[in-house]
Structure formats: C-alpha cells, structure tokens
C-alpha cells in the first residue's frame, strides 16, 4: 500500500497501550490524520477516558458510541435464533462483535472522508480476518492498515519503549505489570487467552474468572428465572419487559451469581492453528438452553432438525468472519421465518453452574398435544394399531437387504 495516498485513517481505538502506540505510529509512518472510534458494546469498562487520551494526542475527530442495544438486538439475538455454537462449545462471543465494529469503521470512514481504516488485531488471530472481511463486504475498495502485520514492535517491552520515546501518555505503572491474559469482553462474554492457558493441560486459576463465582461457591438454593419469548427473542424476564441489552445484562448477573457460563476450549482458528481459550458467557449459556426448550415445544420436527443441520455451517460463517456474506443473510432469512411460532415462556433453574429447564409453555403455538402423548387412555386420539404398518413400511428395505444376505 502506498503511504503517499493515505491522508486520513479511522482507527478502532480503545485508549490502551497498543492502540495508543498505533495512533502515533500511523501519524509517523503514514503522515496521516487519525480519526478514533471507540465502541461501548458492554465490555464493562468506561470508554470516555479514551476521549481524553485521544484529545491529549491531538486527535480532532473522536467518535465514542454506545452500541450495546444495537449489538444485542441486531447481532446477538439473531445469532441465538439459530442456536449457533462453534465446534459444539464456543458461543461466539468475540466473533459476533466484529461485524458491528467493522460496519461502524466503514461508516465513519465515509462520513469523514477517510482513505483507510485501521485495527489492532494481530497477524495470528481470527479478528484481523473478521474486521477486514466485514469491511470489504461493506466498502469493497476500502484500504486497511494492520500495523501488527507491518511493524517490528512485536513485544510488550517494545511497545512500552515506543510509547516512552514518543511521549505517549500511558499508565506505565499499570502497563509495566504484565497482564497475565489477553482478554476481550462485551455483553455476551469475556474471553481469556495466553500465559498459563497456552498449555492445554493447565487448569485455569480461580482468580482469573471475573463474571462468575465458582460452581462450588455458588448458592446452595437454586434461582428460578422465567423468560418470555416473542418470535424467538426474549422480551421479558420474570414478567418485566426488557430491551435486548437489558436482557443480557440481567442474565449475566443472575447467571454469574450461580456459577453459570464457564467454558474451557481448544478451538480451531480460521488461520489454521489450534488455540486454547477460556470463556465466561452466563447470559448466552442461559439463552441457548432456554431457546432450544422453547423451540422444542413450538417447532415442527423436520423444521427443527433442518435447523440443527444448518447450524454448524451458520456458526462457522460467523466464526470465520462472514457475517456480511450473502450465504449468512440467506440462512438468517430462513431461520427468522421459523421463529414466527417461537412464542411462549420458559422457566429455567440455575444451580451451581447448571442451567436446568424447569418448564415451558406456549398458549398460542404449542405443538404438544397431551391427549395424544398421554400414557393414560387417550380416548382414541391415537390408534396404536397404525404403528404396525408404519414400522413394516420403514423396515421394508432392511428386510429386502437381509433376505439377500441369507
């Protein structure tokens, strides 16, 4: 990429050491103006200090945005309508946040007349792919600067020295103390990688976890939660109407208090390597269990089975960064159509790390017919004699094959 053609860059900026160094590096290496974009997607930290730091570094155009509701409503909730889970365990907490950030980077680039966007993802991870695939899908000719793929500041010590040499105001007392884990947080989850977790045999230390108590220390009495669904989305908890972000905040709190949502995974990154990560996803763990319970009552059997067959493909699209792809949008349309009947209430019991379905009902869309399913006298609702022909027809090919083998 010709550095002469870059006059203005929009940087995904947290205000931390890495992105503060990137800000200065972009100005020095590309001789460009930097626009900063900081998103609040529920990471649980103040984002306004990023404005102060950006101003101190001379940034003139600063975007600080609260995207929690948009994130929950337009990204997390649609994903949970699909019951998406990657490789049977990962609830896609980091993956699903990247399309929204990529979208805003592109929108801000257009609004400010920027020539490029920039991010702080490394060349080893999935996030570089997610950010950039999203950006290219929304702005085909966008220029992208990924400093970690260009510079030689490949250690924390080098980053700190660069900051000191260039007068970048960071909290060196805090920065100088090596953070044991690489963490990412939003409304859906918090993730931990690195340090002792790089050896898959090592058990995570208890003081690593931030959102959840250990199941051993969770209350001895279960907590019950009632979730009301409309068209596949939770709209109320315990009778109180809530927005998507409020739903997630509430479930994170009650789930965390009861030890729900911890996971320890070795996953296959899109770039080819295996990676070990630990995750806390209290709200997502509850949402997945409860949504499947609601669907079990309201979805036709073949529709439910087809959804389950498509889900791993859908989850992989999100994990690999293809949220804005036509195939994901096609699947989303099909998934959303199935959710028209997913209406009702699910009651879950949270107990020492477990999410247990304690009840489910739908006054308008339940396909459960007690008159047919009963073990008592069904008054002729189901003729058991019909089963004989059903079985023989399904056994026909098996019987023909068996006769040939004798």
Tokens coding 230: 């409309």
CATH topology for the 184-299+342-361 domain: 3.90.1260
Can you tell me whether residue 260 is helix, strand or coil? coil
Residue 39 main-chain phi, psi, to 5 deg:
-110, 135
Query: What whole-number distance in Å separates Cα of residue 351 and Cα of residue 19?
Result: 40
Write down the catalytic residue from 51, 182, 184, 292: 182
Are 262 and 118 contacting, i.e. CB atoms less than 8 angstroms apart?
no
Query: What whole-number distance in Å separates Cα of residue 282 and Cα of residue 254?
Result: 8
Query: What whole-number distance in Å separates Cα of residue 105 and Cα of residue 295?
Result: 36
Domain(s) of CATH 3.90.1260.10: residues in the chain: 184-299+342-361
Domain(s) of CATH 3.40.50.620: residues in the chain: 3-68+92-178
* CA nearest to 222, candidates 54, 360, 349: 349
Are 186 and 91 contacting, i.e. CB atoms less than 8 angstroms apart?
no
Sheet holding 223-230, edge to edge: 240-241, 233-237, 223-230, 344-351, 354-361
Q: How many CB atoms sit inside 10 A of residue 79's CB?
A: 25
CA dihedral 259, 352, 349, 80 (to 10 degrees): 40
Residue 173: per-residue pLDDT: 43
pTM, full prediction: 0.94
Helix (H) or strand (E) holding 226: strand 223-230
How many residues does the structure list for the chain?
406
CATH of domain 3-68+92-178: 3.40.50.620
Write down the catalytic residue from 18, 40, 115, 233: 18
Query: What whole-number distance in Å separates Cα of residue 217 and Cα of residue 139?
Result: 49
Write down the catalytic residue from 68, 98, 104, 262: 98
Per-residue pLDDT of the chain (406 residues; tens, 9 = 90+): 567 789 999 999 998 889 999 999 999 999 999 999 999 999 988 888 899 999 999 999 999 999 999 999 999 999 999 999 999 999 999 999 999 999 999 999 999 999 999 999 999 999 999 999 999 999 999 999 999 999 998 887 899 999 999 988 776 445 444 557 888 999 999 999 999 999 999 999 999 999 999 999 999 999 999 999 999 999 999 999 999 999 999 999 999 999 999 999 999 999 999 999 999 999 999 999 999 999 999 999 999 999 999 999 999 999 999 999 999 999 999 999 999 999 999 999 999 999 999 999 999 999 999 988 889 988 889 999 999 999 999 999 999 999 998 7
Q: Is 127 a catalytic residue?
A: yes
Query: What whole-number distance in Å separates Cα of residue 150 and Cα of residue 146?
Result: 7
Helix (H) or strand (E) holding 8: strand 8-12
Q: Is 182 a catalytic residue?
A: yes
CA dihedral 13, 14, 19, 20 (to 10 degrees): 100
Q: Is 98 a catalytic residue?
A: yes
Write down the catalytic residue from 127, 130, 228, 233: 127
């Amino acid at each position: 990429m010709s550095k002469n053609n870059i006059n203005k860059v929009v940087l995904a900026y947290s205000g931390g050491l890495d992105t503060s160094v990137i800000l200065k590096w972009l100005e020095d290496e590309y001789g460009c103006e930097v626009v900063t974009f900081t998103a609040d997607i529920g990471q649980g930290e103040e984002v306004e200090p990023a404005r102060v730091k950006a101003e101190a570094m001379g940034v003139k155009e600063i975007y600080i945005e609260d995207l929690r509701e948009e994130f929950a409503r337009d990204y997390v909730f649609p994903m949970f309508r699909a019951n998406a889970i990657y490789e049977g365990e990962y609830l896609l907490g980091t993956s699903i946040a990247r399309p929204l950030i990529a979208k805003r980077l592109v929108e801000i680039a257009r609004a400010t007349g920027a020539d490029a966007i920039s991010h702080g993802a490394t060349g080893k991870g999935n996030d570089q792919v997610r950010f950039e695939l999203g950006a290219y899908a929304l702005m085909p000719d966008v220029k992208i600067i990924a400093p970690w793929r260009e510079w030689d500041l490949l250690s924390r010590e080098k980053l700190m020295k660069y900051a000191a040499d260039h007068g970048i105001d960071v909290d060196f007392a805090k920065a100088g103390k090596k953070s044991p884990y690489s963490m990412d947080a939003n409304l859906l989850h918090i993730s931990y990688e690195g340090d002792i977790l790089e050896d898959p045999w090592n058990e995570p230390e208890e003081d690593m976890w931030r959102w959840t108590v250990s199941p051993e220390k969770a209350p001895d009495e279960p907590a019950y939660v009632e979730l009301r669904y409309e068209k596949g989305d939770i709209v109320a908890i315990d009778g109180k109407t809530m927005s998507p972000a409020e739903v997630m905040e509430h479930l994170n709190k009650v789930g965390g208090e009861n030890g729900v949502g911890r996971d320890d995974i070795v996953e296959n990154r899109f770039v080819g390597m295996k990676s070990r990560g630990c995750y806390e996803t209290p709200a997502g763990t509850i949402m997945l269990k409860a949504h499947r319970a609601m669907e079990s009552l309201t979805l036709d059997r073949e529709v439910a089975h087809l959804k389950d067959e498509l889900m791993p493909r859908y989850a992989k699209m999100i994990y690999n960064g293809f949220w804005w792809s036509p195939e994901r949008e096609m699947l989303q349309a099909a998934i959303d159509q199935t959710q028209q009947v997913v209406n009702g209430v699910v009651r879950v019991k949270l107990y020492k790390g477990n999410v247990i379905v304690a009840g489910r009902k739908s006054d308008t869309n339940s396909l459960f017919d007690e008159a047919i399913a009963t073990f008592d006298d069904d008054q002729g609702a189901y003729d058991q004699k019909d089963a004989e022909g059903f079985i023989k027809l399904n056994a026909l090919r098996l019987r023909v094959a068996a006769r040939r083998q004798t």
